[in-house]
Structure 1
Amino acid sequence: MSARHTSAAMLVVVAAVVQQLGAALAVTIFPTVGAVGIVASRFLVASVVLCILVRPRVRALSRRHWLTVVGLAVTMTSLSLLFYSASGRIPLGVAVTIEVCGPLVLSVVTSNRRSAWLWALMAFTGIVALAAAAGNLGDGRLPGYLFAAGAATAWAAYIMASSVAGPLFPGLDALAIATTLGALVMVPVAAVSGTAHATDSWPVLGTVIVVAFASTVIPHSMELVSLRRLPPSTFAVLTCLSPVFATVIGWLALGQQLSTIHYLAIALVTTASVGAVAHSPRRGTPSTGPPPNE
């Protein structure tokens, strides 16, 4: 690998770490703000920044453009709500591991290779191991696992929506418009639910702003730069390591201790994700890039 590719690969790793740090920060304010408040505040800040930087053109959009970007906004918003609802209830590494199964299954289903199902079997084994490690779910963790499964489904839907939006919109226009639409929906919901008042505290408001930048603006900017230097296949493989980064950051930043079975399960799912991406056909396989949620 050339020096140019090495620096780009390191940029992808840094982007993933920053994104997981943002997710860890969100976990710290989850009891105060809740998933609705986190998503509303994050989308609001991110939409303002993206619209200033991107300046998307909305006047020339056709009905097809609007339907596409609305679908993208729905999947983005659902993905964020479900992920934050999960990570507030179960360890961050576990939530991300379950979430990454969404694009993995999508990659396997859309592949014409029978060997792809071996990676699906490996991932399924990892999920079964996670379920076994969970033990008794009567202590309120069951909703967390269900939310994570929902996030996996939403991520797969987001990949399909973004694959449609990509050719229709230049640059980051689709992301900027979809984030703005998400903010227009979530901010009133947060206001009605009362979670918006939790950001009256300066420490909480500051944390929300940092989460917005760490979850969206900074990592996506880094990823755009790296994609200009790295082959898409290499980029996809590196992003499949998200469960590992989430597990380490959950341990270091949040003190989330996992069992040996947890680590084994995370290793199985991560290996399956990398294997599915590395052995996928060059054409016709949806991208398994990072979700715009954490």
Structure 2
Amino acid sequence: MHNSTSSIALPPLLLPVLAVVTAVCSLAIGTSYAKQLFPLIGAQGTSALRVGMSALVLLVFWRPWRWPISRIDRYAVLRYGLALGCMNLMFYMALQTIPFGIAVAIEFIGPLGVALYYSQRKLDYVWIALVVLGLALLLPFKQDASALDPTGVAWAFGAAAAWATYIIFGKRAGHLHAGQSVSLGLLAASLIVVPVGVAHTGLDLLHPQLLLFGLAVAIVSSAIPISLEMYALKRLPRETFGVMLSIEPVVAALAGMLFLHELLAPSQWLAIGCIMAASIGSIASAGRKSRPPKPH
């Protein structure tokens, strides 16, 4: 009997690609709603809720104690998690005064800088030039209606540096099970973020409604994206996965416009486009030079 389902089979990359797009959108929506907590508990309290609740959710889901971990690996995960905590806290501090999409675009300088540093190809000067152009359009060199807050920009650059450190430390823990490293990493991140949030907000952070909202933000902005990205990363070439993640700044800008009413100037949209193009170009050209082996 002829199997008719074979003629309508989905392309093998369709589901992983949809998973990445859904992960990016989920992260943007979750962060947009988290920013609405800033008037109540500040960026510090909001970051503490997001990281602390994310750690609890993923610890329960993955139960990382099921896998053995050496003393060296525990130290590697601790450093990875502390970098993750700093990245989250500084990113939320940036969101207090600059638009969501611009904060994400500046934060992308971190992983892009790591990629360019280790690559050292002549074509990389093109991507560096695009980044410089994007930053020249974004940074508050002039005072006008679209000028950015210098403090917010500084926090965003701090988040970018922390993201770069997170990538370097994350590679040293990359041989561990992804669920174990991510859940324990978030637990380590909470060691930084939660005390800062409690010191800033106090016992108000334990209000039942805030905890429930924090749980929802944690699921939408951490648990769902991380799970979907892990699914996609196993099924997509690394350069394809990286290029797709490069849509984050524009998705964040659109989410900020829809949910937070953050309208960007044309020059700011152009700046985001330059940084995205640099990210996509760097990853794509690296992929052409050295493609990863196909999984067995």
Give the alignment's TM-score, normalised by structure 2: 0.88
1:51 equivalent in alignment to 2:35: no
TM-aligned CA distance change 1:248 to 1:110, over 3 Å? same
Query: Residue 229 of structure 1: SS of its match in structure 2?
Result: coil
The two structures, once aligned, show a CA RMSD in angstroms of 2.3
TM-aligned CA distance change 1:186 to 1:96, over 3 Å? closer
Residue deviations 1:144-199, cap 9 Å, x none? 000001111111111111111111x2231111112112224433443333345145
The one of 251, 258, 262 equivalent to 1:252 is 258
Residue deviations 1:6-25, cap 9 Å, x none? 22112111110110111111
- 1:72–1:162: 8 Å Cα contact kept in structure 2? yes
User: What runs of 5+ residues in structure 2 fail to find an aligned partner?
Assistant: 1-9, 292-296
The number of equivalent residue pairs is 281
Q: Which residue of 2 aligns with 1:97?
A: 105
The one of 170, 178, 188 equivalent to 1:181 is 188
TM-aligned CA distance change 1:108 to 1:188, over 3 Å? closer
1:6 equivalent in alignment to 2:14: yes
The one of 215, 221, 227 equivalent to 1:209 is 215
Q: Which residue of 2 aligns with 1:68?
A: 76
Q: Counterpart amino acid of 2:280?
A: V
- 1:33–1:199: 8 Å Cα contact kept in structure 2? no
Query: Residue 280 of structure 1: SS of its match in structure 2?
Result: helix
For 1:265 and 1:254, locate their aligned partners in 2 and report how far apart those are by CA, in whole Å. 20
Query: Highest CA radius of gyration, 1 or 2?
Result: 2
1:171 equivalent in alignment to 2:178: yes
Q: Which residue of 2 aligns with 1:275?
A: 281
Deviation at 1:55, TM superposition (A): 1.2
TM-aligned CA distance change 1:259 to 1:183, over 3 Å? same
1:128-143 mapped onto 2 (5 Å cutoff): 128-131=136-139, 135=143, 141-143=149-151
Q: Which residue of 2 aligns with 1:288?
A: none
Deviation at 1:132, TM superposition (A): 5.3
Deviation at 1:134, TM superposition (A): 6.5
Q: Counterpart amino acid of 1:170?
A: H
TM-aligned CA distance change 1:124 to 1:190, over 3 Å? same
Q: Which residue of 1 aligns with 2:158?
A: 150
Residue deviations 1:73-126, cap 9 Å, x none? 110000000100011210001100100011111111110311112101111110
Q: Counterpart amino acid of 2:198?
A: A
Deviation at 1:283, TM superposition (A): 8.5
Q: Which residue of 1 aligns with 2:86?
A: 78
Deviation at 1:215, TM superposition (A): 1.5
Residue deviations 1:243-262, cap 9 Å, x none? 01011111111110111111
For 1:110 and 1:253, locate their aligned partners in 2 and report how far apart those are by CA, in whole Å. 37
Q: Counterpart amino acid of 1:14?
A: T
User: What runs of 5+ residues in structure 1 fail to find an aligned partner?
Assistant: 286-294
For 2:134 and 2:162, locate their aligned partners in 1 and report how far apart those are by CA, in whole Å. 20
